[in-house]
Amino acid sequence: MLADRALEVVLDRVLPADVRDLNLARFAAESLGDVAPVREAVQAMPFLAERRVAVVTDTQSMRSAPRQELWDVAQNVPDGNTLVLLDLLSPRAQRPAPFGTMAGRAALRIDTTAGEETRERFVRETLERNGAKAEARVVDELSRSQADLAAVRSDLEKLALGGKRITLKDLEREALAIEDPKAYKYASALAEGRIAEALAIAHESFSGDPRGAAVPLLSALATECNYIWELARPGGELPSRARWRERFLRPVARRVGERRARIAYERAVRGLEAIVTGRAGSDPDDHRALVDRISVELSKISRT
């Protein structure tokens, strides 16, 4: 959320709107087979403007070799042109190292990490845009939490539909924002077929908590697969707290079908049981490998 806003501010400052279409190239990391198109974009001459700008989003989803190739491109941007890398890795991540850490003082770094004051302002502005009010405890909880701001906005928008003052009980009952947002995002990305994004989130979770990441990830995945299985059944319905997910999961359920949805759910549950019971071992690397393996297996099921 804040990264997207920061990008728009940067573009407004470096590339006037009247020449932007001719001098701006955007790339999603997931869609890049290699970095050659980015290299070509940053090496091209500006057209009726002072500079050309290339933007690569979601670089946190890239594997180590392509990340290094992209970093090599970043070291050779011609004077006057600009390359913007949106890298949403945690500043504490070590494998891979965030581009901001690698750049040091050699590049302009914009930290979009939201502190408590920023988060509170975001919550209040979101409530105002949706014509909603909330208890002070709701604002305080969301301001102090580490939930992803996109999840916070989504939760508030859902709760605002009720047309009443949002209470902490409403938030706890309906929202996922004060649970584990990374695990939720991982499961959602995988269910919707965004395997590279799901793996990037999982790897970031393991970087921050090597021993504790597997259980919430697989638990969230089992829950998501159970939702898909339920929607794949004749007359299946989601529980009220998850009903807002139906428009995303119903097409997945139709594509996967009841039998494969059940297989996906059972595979996620078996993986979770293996971690909890110790059958998967105690080495965090084994847990990470298990999550990766299940992620790839389930992504194939949803694409078949």
Distance, CA of 200 to CA of 71 (rounded, Å):
18
Inform me whether the pLDDT recorded for 293 exceeds 60: yes
Model pLDDT for residues 77-97, shown as the tens digit of each residue? 998 899 999 887 766 666 777
Which class for 258: exposed (0-12), middle (13-18), buried (19 or more C-beta within 10 A)? middle
Looking at the structure, do residues 225 and 241 belong to the same domain, yes or no? yes
Out of 54, 81, 103, a domain closes at 103
Separate counts of helices (H) and strands (E) for the chain = 15, 3
Please tell me the total count of domains within the chain.
3
My answer on whether 165 and 187 are in the same domain is: no
- Asked if the structure places residue 290 within a domain, the reply is yes
Judgement on whether residues 204 and 133 belong to the same structural domain of the protein: no
Residue 298 has pLDDT above 60, yes or no: yes
Domain assignment of residue 108, yes or no: no
- Cα–Cα dist 275/294, whole Å: 13
99 within a domain of the structure (yes/no): yes
241 pLDDT more than 70: no
Which pLDDT band, with edges at 50, 70 and 90, does 110 fall under?
A: low
Residue 162 has pLDDT above 80, yes or no: no
Residue 167 backbone dihedrals phi, psi, to 5 degrees: -105, 165
Q: Is residue 111 part of a domain?
A: no
Query: Do residues 186 and 299 both lie within one domain?
Result: yes
Q: Indicate which CATH number applies to the domain containing 290.
A: 1.20.272
pTM above 0.85, yes or no: no
pLDDT at 175: 56
b/e code 19-47 from CB counts within 10 Å (16+ = b): beeebbbebebeebeebeebbebbeeebe
Please give the average per-residue pLDDT across 196-210, as a whole number.
89
Here the tokens at position 263 are: 């297989």
**Residues 170 and 192 reside in one and the same domain:** no
pLDDT at 290 exceeding the cut of 90: yes
Same domain, 284 and 227: yes
Q: Could you tell me the pLDDT band of residue 184, with boundaries at 50, 70 and 90? A: confident
Measure the CA–CA gap between 276 and 253, rounded to whole angstroms: 28
Domain boundary among 82, 103, 124: 103
164 vs 69: which has the higher pLDDT: 69
Neighbour tally for 262: CB within 10 Å? 17
45 with 120, same domain: the answer is no
Q: Contact 224/187 with Cβ under 8 angstroms? A: yes
| Percent of the chain residues topping a pLDDT of 70 | 85
Beta strands 82-85; 24-28: pairing state = unpaired
pLDDT at residue 183 greater than cutoff 60: yes
Residue at a domain's end among 76, 103, 130: 103
Domain that holds residue 41: 2-103
81 CB neighbour count, 10 Å cutoff: 19
Please give the pLDDT value at position 303.
Answer: 58
Do residue 186 and residue 297 come from a single domain? yes
Q: Is the pLDDT of residue 177 over 50?
A: no
Contact 227, 234 (CB under 8 A): no
Task: Name the amino acid, one letter, at 301.
Answer: I
